């Protein structure tokens, strides 16, 4: 109690001094350290961002490299105490880019993306995907993660559009099987899109006639470094199983709607092979559904 009272007194003292001299970053740093001693992380983080802004405003008085060095240290310090502070990752990445250290920025953004996904912070992860793709727009693994996030956040049309873009990248790499898989997933999400059926038929023609069609695995879009289910507590494991079941049921419903749509186009003979694929997909989803229900009730 005495220690906290003493720290509060110091904080008040430095707050008054900062008001008198708002551009004095030495005072701001001292105040931030006092907040950390009290465990007031949010106040410390806000102060570090204020310091970063002061340093940016003083760029005309310091060399670009010195400013950049100071900002990098500040953002690294913020990340150390607040590992989900998006502003710090954004600021640090921008500094790396200003220095031409694009690989460092890409590694930083990607690691933050993985961290957000592990904690199921999907809206923030979606934003972070954009940062990664600005630096590396053709990284298919990240684009697939971006598509999955769009799906999870209930944006099926945007997800389907992204899957079509990914399919185009696969075709540029001469990988028609992977392109077919992406187009199929897009069609599951937007079954009324006639352009997708045409693309599926065209890509199928590019594949070897004897080659079996390989659809994406059930629940494919696997996120990088997702924690294994076996490490979860029983209550969390059941919660995760129920989430998986919900996704499977939603996917089955979409696929059944797709089948109805295809069967309504009786005059289109090209739809017959696709109908068989969709029926097999529904059977696979039903098998996974039964397995998940057994695990939940078992």
pLDDT in tens, 263-294: 666 555 555 566 667 777 777 777 777 887 88
Q: How far is CA 160 from CA 22, 111, 182, 215, 280, in A?
A: 50, 26, 9, 16, 21
CB-based contacts of 139, cutoff 8 Å, min separation 6 = 132, 133
Question: Which helix (H) or strand (E) covers residue 39, if one does?
Answer: none
Residue 157 CB partners (closer than 8 Å, separation 6+): 189, 190
Q: Cβ contacts of residue 119 below 8 Å, gap of 6+?
A: 84
Cα–Cα distances in Å, from 71 out to 39, 88, 181? 23, 10, 44
Distance, CA of 286 to CA of 48 (rounded, Å): 52
Residue with tokens 């509060």: 8
pLDDT at 296: 81
What is the arithmetic mean of pLDDT over 218-242? 49
Burial 244-281 (b: 16+ CB within 10 A, else e): bbebbeebbebbbebbebbeeeeeeeebeebeebbeeb
C-alpha 87/C-alpha 84 separation (Å) is: 9
Residue with tokens 């059944």, as numbered in its chain: 256
How many residues can be counted in the chain?
Answer: 298
Residue 257: pLDDT over 80:
no
Mean pLDDT of 153-179: 92
pTM, to two decimals: 0.71
> 119-146 burial, b for 16+ CB within 10 Å, e for fewer?
eeeeebbbebbebbbebeeebeebbbbb
Indicate the DSSP class of residue 226: P
232 DSSP 8-state letter: S
Assess whether pLDDT exceeds 60 at residue 225.
Answer: no
CA atoms within 13 A on the CB side of 31: 24
Q: In a 10 Å sphere around its CB, with 0-12 CB exposed, 13-18 middle and 19+ buried, how is residue 97 labelled?
A: middle
The predicted model gives 13-23 an average pLDDT of 80
Number of CB atoms found within 10 A of residue 235's CB: 8
Least confident residue range of 45-54, 199-208, 210-219: 210-219
Residue with tokens 């727009």: 137
Could you give the percent of the chain with pLDDT greater than 70?
Answer: 81
Could you report the per-residue pLDDT of 62-117, keeping only the tens digit for each? 567 888 999 999 999 999 999 999 999 999 999 999 999 999 999 999 999 999 99
**What are the phi and psi torsion angles at 129 (to 5°)?**
-55, -40
In angstroms, how far apart are the furthest CA atoms of the chain?
85
């Amino acid at each position: 109690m005495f220690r906290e009272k003493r720290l509060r007194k110091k904080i008040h003292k430095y707050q008054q001094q900062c008001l008198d001299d708002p551009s004095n970053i030495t005072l701001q740093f001292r105040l931030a350290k006092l907040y950390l001693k009290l465990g007031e992380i949010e106040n410390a983080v806000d102060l570090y961002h204020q310091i970063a802004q002061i340093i940016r405003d003083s760029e005309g008085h310091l060399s670009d490299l010195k400013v950049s060095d100071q900002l990098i240290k500040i953002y690294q310090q913020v990340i150390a105490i607040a590992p989900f502070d998006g502003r710090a990752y954004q600021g640090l990445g921008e500094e790396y880019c200003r220095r031409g250290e694009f690989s460092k920025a890409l590694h930083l953004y990607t690691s933050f993306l993985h961290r957000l996904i592990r904690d199921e912070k999907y809206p923030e992860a979606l934003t972070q995907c954009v940062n990664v793709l600005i630096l590396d727009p053709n990284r298919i693994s990240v684009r697939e993660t971006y598509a999955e996030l769009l799906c999870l956040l209930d944006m099926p049309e945007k997800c389907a559009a992204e899957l079509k873009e990914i399919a185009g990248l696969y075709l540029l790499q001469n990988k028609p099987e992977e392109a077919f898989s992406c187009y199929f997933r897009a069609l599951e999400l937007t079954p009324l899109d006639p352009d997708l059926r045409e693309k599926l038929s065209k890509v199928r023609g590019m594949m070897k006639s004897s080659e079996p069609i390989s659809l994406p695995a059930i629940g494919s879009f696997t996120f990088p470094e997702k924690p294994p289910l076996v490490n979860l507590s029983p209550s969390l494991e059941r919660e995760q199983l129920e989430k998986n079941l919900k996704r499977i049921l939603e996917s089955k419903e979409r696929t059944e709607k797709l089948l109805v749509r295809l069967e309504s186009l009786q005059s289109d003979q090209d739809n017959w092979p696709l109908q068989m694929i969709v029926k097999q997909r529904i059977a696979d989803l039903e098998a996974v559904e039964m397995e998940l229900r057994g695990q939940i009730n078992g």
